[in-house]
Amino acid sequence: MHRSFIPAIIAATIVITGFSAAPARAGGDDIAKALAGLAMLAIIGKAISDNRDGHQVSRQAAPRHQYVQPRPLPKRIARNALPGQCLRVIDTRRGTTRMFMRRCLERNYRYVNRLPQACAQRVRTDRGPRYGYNARCLRQSGFRIARH
């Protein structure tokens, strides 16, 4: 509201100052000039108002979470990066062991057939035998856990 109010006040001030600065005479020509001046100020004020209304900036709410897909790793690096979600700590009769579970690797790792067979192991637990790859052996063979 104040944006349309300010130009109106400025226009009225200019008109009033123009009347008070000139000596008072009674001429028809002066009244016509004053009306022409008021019409020009009204046209200018309307153009300014229309210009402001036409260029309003609408802001759209940005999405709260923008997830960026990471670029895939080069093949030579991806072969040696094992998915961290497949690493488990298994309780056995001899203590705990860290191993990458075989089924999880088959689902989430493309190069399972290239893992060293020397690292493959079977451990017995309370819930039956578990099959996977020893984490220490894989690390010594040059594999690491992928960070996601």
16-54: b (≥16 Cβ within 10 Å) or e:
eeeeeeeeeeeeeeeeeeeeeeeeebeeeeeeeeeeeee
Q: Provide, rounded to the nearest whole percent, the portion of the chain with pLDDT above 90.
A: 21
Residue 116's pLDDT is what? 92
Provide the residue ranges of all domains of the chain, joining segments of one domain with +: 2-54, 75-146
Structure confidence at residue 61 (pLDDT):
63
pLDDT computed for residue 14 by the predictor: 74
Q: Where residue 49 falls among pLDDT bands split at 50, 70, 90?
A: confident
Q: How far apart are CA 34 and CA 16, in angstroms?
A: 10
> 């009033």: which residue's tokens?
16
Q: pLDDT of 26-36, one tens digit each? A: 566 777 787 88
Q: What is the pLDDT of residue 18?
A: 64
Give yes or no for a contact between 109 and 83, defined as CB atoms under 8 angstroms apart. yes
Encode pLDDT of 81-125 as tens digits.
888 899 999 988 888 999 999 999 999 888 888 899 999 999 988
CB 121 within 8 A of CB 132: yes
Instruction: Answer yes or no: are the C-beta atoms of 90 and 126 closer than 8 Å.
Output: no
Note the pLDDT of residue 52.
66
pLDDT-derived band of residue 144, with 50, 70 and 90 as boundaries? confident
